[in-house]
Amino acid sequence: MSTDQAREISATGVTVDVGDATTRYLMYGLLPSWFVPGVADWVMHRRTRIEETAGTKESLIHSLMMAEVGIPIALTLRYEVNPLLLSVQLGGAAVHEATALWDVRTAVGSDREVKPVEQHIHSFLESLPFGALAALMCLHADQVKSLLRGGRGDPDAWRLVLRRRPLSRGYLAGIAAAIGTCVLLPYGEELLRCVRAGRRNRKNDKNTRSDAAHWSAAGSGKGR
């Protein structure tokens, strides 16, 4: 913002509440935009035929990663930010990062091609939790200090406290619909596809071994 713009705002009596602006950014910017790379990642998994390579194992890892991020988000939408909730958020972000490494290692080990585009998508999925957490900690610096003190002097530090100003039902319904459409539906389809492919491959392997045993026995009989 230029000096002239700042003077104009000051002259008209307009003030900018950084806390409100950051909250709106988290609610209507960062959180909704999170679904975009999530769907894009699912598209990449489908294009590289995950069901024929890493299969169910990698798909289950994806479900685990969504839970590691989804649970802290759900708690934050419902409860006040305090040392307990910050600990859950920090722990979730750390575990999510470790699981992301496991995910890529599993994909590469299965010979599924992780293309540069997918790697770039992963960079968004890994950085967004830390960006959201950093903004949230700035909004609740007092709770960060309380966490560093171990919550001493705060009787509500280590228990879940319902939001004093609950989020609107419309907003929560919109987020729930987005989660269902952009997370549960595509990744549920992926897991189902991988399970079906795994069963089909096991059945084919069983039939192949059975045929091999049959021809081996037939060959032995002729040799006699």
Q: How far apart are CA 101 and CA 58, in angstroms?
A: 12
* pTM (whole model) above 0.85: no
Distance CA 96, CA 88 (A): 12
What residue ranges of the chain have pLDDT lower than 50? 6, 9, 211
Tokens (6 digits) for 188: 């549920």
How much is the pLDDT for 222?
Answer: 57
What pLDDT is stored for residue 17 in this prediction? 83
Question: Which structure tokens are listed for 57?
Answer: 């194992």
- Quote the pLDDT of residue 150: 95
**What residues form DSSP beta bridges with 79?**
162
| Per-position DSSP letters for 78-110, written without gaps between them | HB---HHHHHHHHHHHHHHHHHHHHHHHHHHHT
Q: Tell me the C-alpha distance between 172 and 138, whole Å.
A: 23
Give 70-129 pLDDT, tens digit per residue. 999 999 999 999 999 999 999 999 999 999 999 999 999 998 999 999 999 999 999 999
pLDDT, position 46:
96
